[in-house]
Amino acid sequence: MWTCWWLWPLVAVCTADQFLDQAKRIMQTTPVIDGHNDLPWQLLLKFNNELRQKDANLTSLTGTHTNIPKLKAGFVGGQFWSAYTPCNTQNKDAVKRTMEQIDVIHRMCQMYPETFLCVTSSQGIRQAFREGKVASLIGVEGGHSIDSSLGVLRALYHLGMRYLTLTHSCNTPWADNWLVDTGDHDAQSGGLSDDFGKSVVREMNRLGVIIDLAHVSVATMKAALNQSQAPVIFSHSSAFALCEHRRNVPDDVLQLVKQTGSLVMVNFYNDYVACKREANLSQVADHLDHIKKVAGAGAVGFGGDFDGVTRRQWTEAEVRGALADNLLRVFEAVEQASNHARDPEETPIEQNYLDSSCRTSYGYSAAPGLHLQPAALLASLTPLLLGPRLL
C-alpha cells in the first residue's frame, strides 16, 4: 500500500474540485440568502456613514469581511443588512440611530444600483435573482430600537424593515435576552410580557415583519414560537447541542422550529460554532447536520460549507433549500399571514415599565396648564365670565 501514498492527496484534490464545481452550478441558479450582515455598522464606525469618502468605496473596501467583489465571489443573491444600534442607546437615541442605519442601507442601494436592489418582499428577492443583483433587505437588530412603541414599529416597517430581532444583548421592558440564561441579567418578562410583548408579536404578524429570535432567552424563544401565527427565524444562531453557548438554539426549541416551519440560519462566529477561539468549516457543517437531524432540512439556513454539505449526503434540493428556498418559504408564509385590513394594535406599554429619566409623559397623564377637554374648559371659564369684573 505504501507505493500508492501519492494517490490519496490527488483523489482529495479531484474530489474537492468536483464538489466545488457542483456548488457553483447550484448557486448560479440558487444564490445564497444571508440572514445577517453588520456592514452598515462598520460604515458608521469607520466613516460616520459618509459613503462618498474615497476609502468607503464598496468595490475596494478593505478591513471588513464584506465588499462587493466578495459578495459576487460568494454567489450572494440576497442579504439582510443589519440596522443595528447598541444596547447603550436604549432609553436614549436608539430610534434616531436605527433610522440613520436604515438610511445608510438605502443609500448603499442608490450608490451601487448595478449591484444592490433594495427590496421588501419575497417577490423582490426573486426579481433581484433574475437581474443578477443582491436583493438588499433591512433587519433591525434589537427590540430596543422600537423604544417600546407600536407606532415606531409600524414606522420602521414603512421604512423597509422586514425583520426585527426581539432583543439584542439586553432586556427590553417586554422581552428577555440570552444573557438571562447565563445568569448575567435578571429575567424581567419571563420571556415575553403577557401584555405588550405579545402585542408586539401580533403586530409584527399583522404587518408581515419576520420575527427574529437570534439574541433572546430560551423562554422568549418558546413564547414567541408559541405566540406567532407565522414562522420565525433565528437570523444568526447555531445548535446548542454542539456548542453550549446561550446564543445557540437547544434541541427542545429546535422541535418547536420543526413544528412551526421556522428557520435557523447557522452562524459562522467561532464562539457559537466551536465554543472557543478557533473553528473550521467542518464544524459549521456539523451544526447544519444537527439542525437537519432534529428539525428537518427545511429548518436550515445555509452557512457556507458547500463541500461539507454535499459530502454529508444532502440532496441538491436540500442544498438549494439551505441556500435560499427555506428563507423564501418562511418569508412568503409571513407575508401570507399578514393582514393590513385588520385593526392595528394600539394599547401602549404601561408607563411604569419605562425608564422615565429622558421621557415626557404625553398621553399617559394630563399636561399642565389649559390642556383640558372642551367641556371642562368652558365650565372653568363660565364663572369667570359671569362673575364680577376685577380691576
377 vs 71, residue with greater confidence: 71
Q: Give catalytic residues, as residue numbers.
A: 36, 38, 141, 168, 215, 236, 305
Residue 309 has pLDDT above 50, yes or no: no
**Residues 361-378: pLDDT tens digits?**
999 875 444 444 555 445
Across 350-354, average pLDDT: 94
Q: Which amino acid is located at 342 in the chain?
A: R
Q: What is the mean pLDDT of the chain?
A: 90
**Residues 339-350: pLDDT tens digits?**
999 999 999 999
Domains and their CATH numbers in the chain: 33-340 (3.20.20.140)
Residue 202 has pLDDT above 90, yes or no: yes
pLDDT at 136: 98
pLDDT at 181: 98
pLDDT at 199: 98
d(CA 102, CA 139): 9
- Cell numbers standing for residue 177: 435576552
* Coil, strand or helix at 82: strand
Looking up cell 436540500 gives 318
Across 19-32, average pLDDT: 90
